[in-house]
Amino acid sequence: QVQLVESGGGLVQAEGSLRLSCTTSRTVFVINTVTWYRQAPGKQRELVADMSGDANTKYADSVKGRFTISRDNAKKSAYLQMNELKPEDTAVYYCNANIWTPDHGSKDYWGQGTQVTVSS
């Protein structure tokens, strides 16, 4: 069973930076789309950034110019570089990846989430 493990969250002051990582727990064959979501208390989960298998990206308007999604296919990992953080970026951040394996074909997997807290 494929598992995604996020890391890199924490407490940071406004205007600071954090880099989130999302790694797989085992060797996987093909990672298609990778998406970062976040969910703030009392709010719905929202898409933050997305990268397709051919490296096309899209971002939520609220993070454009501040966040950058990237991936390292050799390391089977994805990243979210977050700069100029704002208190409204405070949320639990989740990694989602569509991964192909011989056992299950293409399937979506979720990480457990990592807390990002931005203080003013």
Give the residue, 20 or 54, on which the prediction is more confident: 20
DSSP string, 78-113: EEEEE-S--GGG-EEEEEEEEEEETTTEEEEEEB--
φ, ψ for residue 54, nearest 5 deg:
-100, 20
Q: C-alpha angle 52/74/80, rounded to 5°? A: 50
Instruction: Give the 3-state secondary structure of residue 16.
Output: coil
Identify the burial level of 5 via C-beta atoms within 10 angstroms of its C-beta, where 0-12 means exposed, 13-18 middle and 19 or more buried.
middle
pLDDT at position 21, please?
A: 97
The pLDDT > 90 percentage for the chain reads 78
Please write the tens of the pLDDT for every residue from 4-53: 999 999 999 999 999 999 998 766 678 899 999 999 999 999 999 999 98
Q: What is the pLDDT of residue 74?
A: 84
46 near 96, Cβ under 8 Å?
no
